[in-house]
Chain A
């Protein structure tokens, strides 16, 4: 297990390096000179050159990258152009809110998805299977930002049951565990959970269906095991793959909540990202994306290791 862990950790390094290169390049592909945002229009050529030198923009790209990475290693992601605050502080506050939203959506989606998928796999080719399959294909086809709007129309506009935006009463940005804040979480979390329900249900259905047709299931019945005990064996066999799909989905929820956060004005990383885009706040854009991508990489690593812990066969590959 330890050697697997070390091998897996070594594999992450080049990916993390690549991620940092892509995030660095994001600022380079952006049109326009980064200086135009901060320099007055009538600045002379010397003043511009001085500013360029001050920001290190006169150095070759590789050197600029090395400086950027060096600062990153010290936790310095630069300053937001719009607010002047350090990017790191802005990003971590927002990522916390996004994690809360993603985790809530996962708590809703995974049990429902696993249950529906197992049901469909067990009762394969019955009306239950067809109903679950139809529901899951509808789920994965839904543009969730539209679903969010529809849920707002139903539950906020027509019924007036739930608030339509923000993370708490009076534009509160900090999360508190009370009913007023929970009410704000319900609609975005439910909206976000629909696509993963569909994907998890689909995966678990295929998995359960495949495992139930294997010989060992017959053997277990033949030696007199009860139905529940047999199902436990099936579940153990499906667990590793199901877990990896769910772990990936948790990562997607984190990155994919951007549109939902915009719909519900949820003060998370996606909301921060769209603000960064509209204010052309490139350091903030870069920092947010870097943190989200690295979180996603870390999530995949944890999933792989957990999968190997459950299913020892994986460690040998």
Chain B
């Protein structure tokens, strides 16, 4: 900047020096410097990759039990993390368990992000009656604490992976819609939207070119802050017995079935919950890091 000043004084255009850093490049740079966030990102990637590539890791069969090897303590020969109440290898079940747990814990927020953003941007941009109908419907869902709503819908639909995805998606659509609507109505009243409309752009073009880009990052950051709750809730549904069905390995379900063993092998039975805790802690910290890197204020 100091170099450019004398030229400005002449009243001439300063020569283009260097392409200014883009928004996303700045975000990436700030994230890379944030060690805690990067560490959490690393742990999450490790969990996700080990879950995805579980069959190729040379683990024991997570479904194969053994009557004589039940509830072996952590560190037993051949069973590094012990065995569960049916003699199945805990290490294998914990790693395989990441597949369903992470899938059901993260996908509802992804679905709700798309549906909620669509509804919120629609309500915020169109306004009027459309806004009233969408937002008053959303208000009703806020009358339910999220845990209660998830359990109510899952309880009525019955256990199953698909039903859990449906109920959790329904739980997270209202908060995302509310944020999307608030951000969109804020952007809509700005001058550049009027300017774009004055040039003759139709609504679709204005939304696509001018609205989406400006509302998506706050909605995205907000959605990431919901992932940790969603993980805990998803595993909680399985813990209650209205999520994943046995014998599938899933952390919440494992925590539930191992409850009968807390007097025999207490710390072993706490392991699946440890996984849920570590994942949700990393998701929370990652979301916080993302929020500050993207300069989103709440």
A residues whose Cβ falls under 8 Å from a Cβ of B = 14-16, 18-19, 21-23, 26-27, 29-31, 137-138, 140-143, 145-147, 149-150, 152-153, 157-158, 251-252, 254-256, 258-259, 262-263, 273-274, 276-278, 282, 285, 289, 292-293, 296-297, 300
Interface flags for B267-298 (1: CB within 8 Å of A; 0: not) read 10110011011001101110010000000000
Cβ of B157: which chain A residues have Cβ within 8 Å of it?
29-31
Selected interface stretch from B51-59, B80-88, B139-147, B192-200: B139-147
| A14 and B136 in contact, given A142-B277, A143-B277, A143-B280 (Cβ under 8 angstroms) | yes
| Contact A146-B255, Cβ < 8 Å, known A18-B137, A254-B145, A259-B236 | yes
Besides A145-B239, A255-B144, 19 new A-B residue pairs in contact (Cβ under 8 A), listed by A number: A15-B143, A18-B139, A138-B281, A141-B283, A149-B262, A149-B270, A254-B145, A255-B145, A258-B147, A258-B240, A263-B259, A274-B240, A277-B151, A277-B155, A277-B241, A277-B242, A292-B145, A293-B144, A296-B144
Closest beta carbon of chain B to A134's beta carbon, Å = 10
The chain B residue sitting closest to A12, CB to CB, is B143
One of B239, B277, B283 near A259 (C-beta < 8 A): B239
The total of chain B residues at the interface (CB under 8 A) is 44
Q: Which residues of B contact A (CB under 8 A)?
A: 136-137, 139-141, 143-148, 151-153, 155-158, 228, 232, 235-236, 239-242, 255, 259, 262-263, 266-267, 269-270, 273-274, 276-277, 280-281, 283-285, 288
Q: Check A157–B239 contact: CB distance below 8 A.
A: no
Q: Are B156 and A262 in contact (CB under 8 A)?
A: no
The A interface is mostly helix, strand or loop, or mixed, namely helix
Interface of B is mostly: helix
- Chain B residues within 8 Å of A30, by CB: 156-158
Q: Are B284 and A141 in contact (CB under 8 A)?
A: yes
A285 interface neighbour in B152, B241, B273, Cβ under 8 Å: B152
B236 touches A145 (CB 8 A): yes
Is the CB–CB distance between B143 and A141 below 8 Å?
no
